[in-house]
Chains A and B, each alone.
Chain A
Amino acid sequence: MSSFRTAKGGRIKRKDAISFSFEGKAYTGVKGDTLASALLANGVHFVGRSYKYHRPRGIMSAGQEESSALVGIDRGQGRYDTNTRATTQELFEGLKAQSQHCWPSLRWDIGEMNSLASPILSAGFYYKTFMWPKSFWKRVYEPIIRKSAGLGRAPRAVDPDVYASRYAHCDVLIVGGGPAGLAAALAASRSGAKVILADEQSEIGGALLSDPGSRIDDEESWSWLASAVVALAADENVTILNRTTAFGYYHQNFVGLVERLSDHLESPSSNLPRERLWRVRAKRIVLATGAIERPLVFAGNDRPGVMLAGAARTYLNRYGVRVGDKPVVVTSHDSAYLTAFDMAENGVGVEAIIDLCTDVSPELLKGAARLGIEVLPGHTITRTKGRLRISSIYAAPIEPDGSVGPERTIDCDALLMCGGWTPSVHLFSQSRGTLSWREDIGAYVPDVYAQNASSAGACDGHYLLSEALNGGAAAGQAAAIEAGYKAGKPNTYEVAEEATCSGTLIVELPTGANPARIKAFVDFQHDVTAKDIRLAVREGFHSIEHIKRYTTAGMATDQGKTSNLSELAIASKTLSRPIAEVGLTTFRPPYTPTSFGAFAGRSRGNLFDVTRKSPIDSWAEKRGAVFEPVSLWRRARYFPRDNEDMHAAVARECKATRSSIGISDASTLGKIEVVGPDSAEFLNRIYTNAWTKLGVGRCRYGLMLGEDGFIFDDGVVGRLALDRFHVTTTTGGAPRVMAHMEDYLQTEWPDLDLWLTSITEQWAVIALNGPNVRKLIEPFVEGIDLDKQAFPHMAIKEGKIYGVPTRLFRVSFTGELGFEINVPSRYGLTVWKRLIEEGARYDIVPYGTEALHVLRAEKGYIIVGQDTDGTQTPDDVGMAWAIGRNKHDFIGKRSLTRPDMLVSNRKQLVGLLTRDPKNLLEEGAQIVATAHPSPPAKMIGHVTSSYWSETLQHSIAMGVVEGGRARMGAELYVPMPDGVHQVQVVEPVFYDQEGGRLNV
């Protein structure tokens, strides 16, 4: 057993020894230790270097508020974690911890020389020092500062851990498992309410874990705690979550919690998530988040061995560790006496209690006298000594005029300080509740609640154990009633011989030295001193939000949990304004640093996002298709054979389609079934085209505009019956077209009698194009006469193919004879395979989206979203023919007559042919009128589509050009990185202008 372990007591398992290492050195702790308690048990206080001055720092606290003892924990490949607080890291066998902010070693750190330069590293130092020359900022200052200052280093390897998530609902969520939270949980659960009790520590109990000496209802506190936890655990309506931090309080009692599941384990199961993000919606919330002890501000208050008094008590009572053998206590609050008393009772010789207050309660004085502890009321500490560990302090009386009397040296190996307690109102403030300043306890406490919550215990400014228990019980009972349960009178608890617990808010200790020359730390993690705050105020920063940003106080990973109030008090004093007038900085989530993994959850790898696959996707994958994402879908882009590149594959696929048969998977097209007596009228209003006269069994290309008159989507619509249409949309546009239609149907035209049903995934769609398609499918189609006259271009009919029901479309997006075979999705793959098999005799070739784009561009068919960008009218793309002239109205009609829509030099879609047929224009390239215009050149349009056409042995392109149709035959220019290309404006139909191939 190490030298600073007490003989008995604590909640540790003394027989279970645990080996670990810190800075490469091996140590032994015991089960139940944190890294901090194990180090202290080994006499190690000095664990890190500070952020700016690289001053030696020790362990300051025993909880998540720790600002100094930040370490890196290495759990193996990809599991390096930075900025872990040694005070919350549970010890496990083989734990490896490293200090941060030091180089080359913790003991000999080169950055310590920053301390010598401290006069220039003052508040606003970044803003003042590194403004000039500007170019130095990115190349010199920032990299160097980042490297030497850094808050740990980010891991680079992929995180192998799994992060889980869970939504939960409850009647009462209780945050904090201390005495107030426990009493609340007991009271609420008794009513039958569904309760979640969350606590950030490894063990439920909060302050009780450090306080074995109190007696609750004549029972030892730890025995009371054990029965309370057993009772709650046995209640199936209660969920106890330890190691769980409520990090954010959002709207409507929605709280985010992170449960840490494996960081405390030596070798967790691979199925065990590292953390679980809980998203809890609670009817009522009881905040029992406790309070955080404040350090005092004096010269040399940051040496290793200087610690919060309450932390020392925790180490003693909970972990069986003496933080020193001859400690001195300095305090402005009664609670520190309890630490001194407990230590003395454990045989530690407490050198002195330096009390900043003059009138100390007789009970405390009596207690000190009984234990032989010297009390120095009305005294201050002026400075401390000791490089890597505190060795002595200088105490001096505070004279009635506020000056400081003669100093006296007291040797010590630990200095335990207490500047009072700050209620943890973080979550309350996040809930948008407002705080009020209580002068009597020197703290902000919850005042007006914005959500269904209440507070109990220390977070509400009630520090006594009896207040916490009784306040918690009342809050728990009230919460259950508010949540709709019948709850009887709450328990009342009696605590025997409770000591007083008051103090004075004295933040900065009186000193005889020049306050501008001493380093009295306020924010230990960001190395902000009292004089930095005074300097900021002197330089004109009077709002606390500005002071915070200028000095960086409260901006580190601890978010100023121990420093915010001190900062505020110093600013208020410097400004000569009451604290309540200076205001508070905003509390923002997360309460404590939360891993990115917890937020990402399972959204990584194949769960990062949905990849929608068509029913035929597996065939394409086996065939070696190269895929491209189209909205959430993946579609085959081309099907390379042997070692073909895309160019070769696409050329082959296009050629095969034009000469015999190409087959393509069009299943991803959006499809909507429109059914009801008013269907045609609805389509009349949604599309520019006229639908009333479309015959049953016929199809029409439809164009859809937004209210702005610009093209929104397009697709073929087939009429299956007088009251039934099969609408198709673009792949990417399907969800928004459906929403657009539903929006109008529900909000504008509720009088129309029809319904919309998404059938995108009901049908697999196989597009067959080429002169031999009819010959291929004719033998296998039942119930549909495929004859040219009976089933002409733009027809639809229901029948069967290979015995499977089909909706057969005769449509073409390639300019060839084309059929689109719709079969119910589960049949899609089989029908496709059959067609491939049967098509072998016609050298059938599967083609992907790239060939599809070339084939349609050869015919001048537009793609909405490629050839249009949301600023094209039907006329702009040469489709004025699609507008039903006699229609009373349709969406966008009115906009089409706005003067701006009628000007002659609107950008219009044209074809572009390069002078050199081999020259391929870049899509997106700008178009200018002269070969070498003087800058700034007027851009009169841009290229929207550009491909190599194997069929035409010429590159082809489409683009939008101002007054394009009036420029037919004109020469224009397209500047590209490799030079300016001359192009000729042509009609945007490059192949089979007469359309004869469609109608065979």
Chain B
Amino acid sequence: MSDELSIIVSEQSNPLDGAAFAAGPGPMLVMASAGDCARFSLRTAKKNLAKATEAFGQVIPPQIGEMSSRAVKTALCLGPDEWLLLAPESERESITARFAKQSEQATHSLVDVSHRSVGIDISGPGAALVLNAGCPLDLTALPVGGCTRTILDKAEIILMKPGKEHYRLEVVRSFADFVWNFLSSAGREFETESG
């Protein structure tokens, strides 16, 4: 059976596999689908955060809109009792196991949502502009290292701002084509901007 496993694992398919886009001088805008990773939706009371941090192996921030990111693990606070945890695929099982051990002392819900969404990296001087084609938020007010749940045109997204000109969004699989098409349609405007 282990042979079967290896075959299958290499045969995963994502809606945006290999998608890449660049436009404008510089370029103004670079977009690419982010690699696969493990994702968890963590729901628990704030008082359990210390425990959760221990299980995740990385600080889980307490304030909505905060994101803590170190090495390859990221934790986003999306609600008063809601976090999204991103980690390398290889750590999926160990993280699950460590949280499971805690369920007695710290009640929580850890749900594996690794396959629920796909990520898109957007960077360059035009990154905020292309997002603002469909996202009504003031992105300059989103601090570097911040995150939020918002909308992009007709799709709900989770938006992270790892750098001043770098955004990463997460969108559920079946909306990914729409979001990618919307962003690349808007991104083509940079091919004409001459100042």
Binding site for B on A (CB under 8 A): 162, 164-169, 269, 271-273, 279, 281, 602-603, 606-607, 609-615, 618, 632-633, 673, 675-677, 723, 753-755, 757-763, 780, 782, 800, 802-804, 824-831
Within 8 Å CB of B181, what residues of A? 606-607
Question: Do the beta carbons of B8 and A827 come within 8 Å of each other?
Answer: yes
* Docked pose: A763 CA to B116 CA in angstroms: 8
The verdict on A761 contacting B182 (CB below 8 Å), with A169-B138, A610-B154, A827-B8 known, is no
26 sampled A-B residue pairs with Cβ under 8 A: A165-B186, A166-B132, A167-B136, A169-B138, A169-B141, A271-B189, A272-B189, A606-B181, A607-B181, A607-B182, A610-B155, A610-B174, A610-B178, A755-B81, A757-B43, A757-B111, A760-B172, A761-B117, A762-B113, A762-B115, A762-B116, A782-B1, A800-B1, A825-B116, A830-B8, A830-B12
Cross-chain contact of B116 among A753, A761, A802 (Cβ < 8 A):
A761
A824 and B178 within 8 A (CB): no
Proximity string of chain B (129-166) to chain A, C-beta cutoff 8 Å, 1 when within and 0 when not: 10011111110110000000000011100000000000
Cβ of B137 and Cβ of A167 under 8 Å apart? Answer: yes
Contact A761 B115 (CB under 8 A): yes
Residues of A near B2 (CB, < 8 A) are 803
Q: Quick one: which of A165, A271, A602, A800 contacts B191, CB cutoff 8 A?
A: A271
A278 nearest in chain B by CB position: B132
Given contacts A165-B134, A269-B191, A602-B182, 14 further A-B contacts (CB under 8 A): A167-B133, A269-B192, A281-B138, A606-B181, A607-B181, A610-B174, A613-B15, A614-B174, A675-B111, A755-B43, A761-B115, A824-B115, A825-B173, A830-B8
The answer for the CA separation of A762 and B115 in the assembled complex, in Å, is 5
Give complex CA distance A825, B174 in Å. 11
How far is the CB of B40 from the nearest CB of chain A, in Å? 10
**Set of chain B residues within 8 Å of A272, measured between Cβ atoms:** 189, 192
B contact set with A: CB distance below 8 Å: 1-2, 4-9, 11-15, 36, 41, 43, 81, 103, 107-117, 129, 132-138, 140-141, 153-155, 172-175, 177-178, 181-182, 185-186, 188-189, 191-192
CA–CA, A800 and B2, complex, Å: 11
Contacts of B111 in A (CB 8 A): 673, 675, 757, 759, 762
CB distance from A192 to the nearest CB of B (A): 13
- Report if A830-B41 is in contact (Cβ < 8 Å); known contacts: A166-B129, A607-B153: no
Closest-by-CB residue of A relative to B172 is A761
Contact flag A804-B8 (CB < 8 Å), given A169-B140, A753-B107, A761-B173: yes
Residues of chain B contacted by A166 (CB below 8 angstroms): 129, 132-133
Please report the C-alpha to C-alpha distance between residue A270 and residue B178 in the assembled complex, in whole angstroms: 22
Q: Which residues of A contact B182 (CB under 8 A)?
A: 602, 607
Across-interface contacts of A165 in B (CB, < 8 A): 133-134, 186
Main secondary structure of the interface of A (DSSP, over half): mixed
Is the pair A633, B11 in contact by a Cβ cutoff of 8 Å? Answer: no
Residues on A with beta carbons closer than 8 Å to the beta carbon of B135:
167
4 closest pairs, A vs B, by CB? Answer: A803-B5, A675-B109, A612-B174, A755-B43
Give Cα A603 to B133, complex, Å: 12
Task: Please give me the residue from chain A that is nearest to B191 by CB atom.
Answer: A271
Do residues B116 and A759 form an inter-chain contact, with CB atoms below 8 A? yes
Measured CB to CB, the nearest residue on chain A to B40 is A757
Contact A802-B4, Cβ < 8 Å, known A166-B133, A607-B185, A754-B109 = yes
* B interface majority secondary structure: mixed
C-alpha spacing A273/B173, complex, angstroms: 29
Which of chain B's residues have a CB closer than 8 A to the CB of A269?
191-192
Smallest CB separation, A274 vs chain B (Å) = 12
Select from chain B the residue with minimum beta-carbon distance to A829: B13
Write out the residue numbers on chain B whose beta carbons fall within 8 Å of the beta carbon of A723.
103
Q: Which residues of the other chain, A, contact B138 by a CB distance below 8 angstroms?
A: 169, 281
Distance, CA A614 to CA B172, complexed state (A): 11
Who on chain A is nearest to B137 by CB? Answer: A167
Q: What is the minimal beta-carbon distance from B85 to any residue of chain A, in angstroms?
A: 13
**A753 vs B132: C-alpha distance in the bound complex, in angstroms?**
38
Query: How long is the Cα–Cα vector from A800 to B115 in the complex, in angstroms?
Result: 16
Measured between beta carbons, the chain A residues less than 8 angstroms from B192 are 269, 271-272
In the complex, A255 Cα to B11 Cα: how many Å? 49
Residues of B within 8 A of A827 (CB): 8, 11-12, 115
Closest residue on chain B to residue A753 by CB atoms: B107
Q: Closest Cβ of chain A: how far from B29's Cβ, in Å?
A: 13
**In the complex the two chains form, what is the Cα distance from A279 to B138 in whole Å?**
11
With beta carbons under 8 angstroms apart, the residue of B36, B43, B141, B174 that contacts A613 is B174
Chain A contacts of B188 at CB under 8 A? 271
Q: Which of A609, A763, A803 contacts B8 (CB 8 A)?
A: A803
In the complex the two chains form, what is the Cα distance from A753 to B14 in whole Å?
35
For residue A754, which residues in chain B have a CB less than 8 angstroms away from its CB?
109
Is the beta-carbon distance between B178 and A611 smaller than 8 angstroms? yes
Closest CB of chain B to A447's CB: distance in Å? 31
Residues from chain A with Cβ under 8 Å of B141 in the complex: 169
Minimum C-beta distance from A197 to chain B (A): 17
With A167-B132, A602-B153 as contacts: A676 and B12 at CB distance below 8 Å: no
**How many Å from the CB of B169 to the closest CB on chain A?**
15
Distance between Cα atoms of A281 and B136 in the complex (Å): 9
- Among B36, B109, B113, B182, the one with the most A-chain Cβ atoms within 10 Å of its Cβ is B109
Q: Are B174 and A633 in contact (CB under 8 A)?
A: yes
State in angstroms the CA–CA spacing of A164 and B134 once bound together.
10
A164 to B155, CA, bound (A): 17
Residues of A within 8 A of B108 (CB): 755
Cα A760 to Cα B111 in complex, Å, equals: 12
User: Are the C-beta atoms of A762 and B13 separated by less than 8 Å?
Assistant: no
Q: What distance in Å separates the Cβ of A228 from its nearest Cβ neighbour in chain B? A: 20
Compute how far the CA of A763 lies from the CA of B138 in the bound complex, rounded to whole angstroms: 34
Which residue from chain A places its CB closest to the CB of B177 in the assembled complex? A613
Contacts of A780 in B (CB 8 A): 4
Q: Flag if A830 contacts B11 (CB, 8 Å).
A: yes
Chain B residues with CB below 8 A from A607, complex form:
153, 178, 181-182, 185
Contacts of B153 in A (CB 8 A): 602-603, 607
Question: What is the chain A residue whose CB lies nearest that of B138?
Answer: A169
Question: Known contacts A615-B13, A803-B5; is A279 also within 8 Å of B136 by CB?
Answer: yes
Q: Give chain B nearest CB distance to A601 CB in angstroms.
A: 8
Given known A-B contacts A269-B191, A755-B43, A761-B117, A609 and B154 have beta carbons under 8 A apart: yes
Taking the closest CB of chain B, its distance from the CB of A370, in whole angstroms, is 47
CA A755 – CA B81 in complex, angstroms? Answer: 9
Please measure, in the bound complex, the distance between the C-alpha atom of A411 and the C-alpha atom of B81, giving whole angstroms: 83
CA distance A14 to B136 in the complex (A): 44
List the A side residues contacting B134 at CB < 8 Å.
Answer: 165, 167, 602
Tell me the bound Cα distance from A802 to B11 in angstroms.
12
For A803, what are the chain B residues with a Cβ–Cβ distance below 8 Å? 1-2, 4-9
Residue among A279, A676, A763, A826 with the most chain B CB within 10 A? A826
How far is it, in angstroms, between the C-alpha of A607 and the C-alpha of B175 when the chains are bound?
A: 11
B26 to chain A, nearest CB (A): 16
**Complex CA–CA separation, A825 to B16 (angstroms):** 13
What CA separation (Å) do A985 and B22 show in the bound complex?
65
- Please give the distance in Å from B71's CB to the nearest CB on chain A: 24
**Which residues of A sit under 8 angstroms from B36, Cβ to Cβ?**
826
Whole-angstrom CA separation of A525 from B15 in the bound complex: 54
Instruction: Report yes or no: B113 in contact with A757, Cβ–Cβ below 8 A.
Output: yes
Q: Cβ of A677: which chain B residues have Cβ within 8 Å of it?
A: 107
Residue from B107, B133, B174 within 8 A of A164 (CB atoms): B133
A676 lies within 8 A of B132 (CB): no
Q: How far is the CB of A82 from chain B (nearest CB, A)?
A: 26
Nearest chain-B residue to A758 (Cβ)?
B116
Q: Is the CB of A612 within 8 A of B175?
A: yes
A164 & B178 in contact (Cβ 8 Å cutoff): no
Decide if A676 touches B115 in the complex (CB within 8 Å): no
Q: How far is the CB of A671 from chain B (nearest CB, A)?
A: 10
CB distance from B91 to the nearest CB of A (A): 16
Q: Assess whether A830 is in contact with B13, with CB atoms less than 8 Å apart.
A: yes
Please report the C-alpha to C-alpha distance between residue A119 and residue B175 in the assembled complex, in whole angstroms. 62
Q: How far is the CA of A464 from the CA of B31 in the complex (A)?
A: 52
User: Residues of A contacting B189 with CB < 8 Å?
Assistant: 164, 271-273
Q: Could you tell me the distance in whole angstroms from the C-beta of B9 to the nearest C-beta in chain A?
A: 8
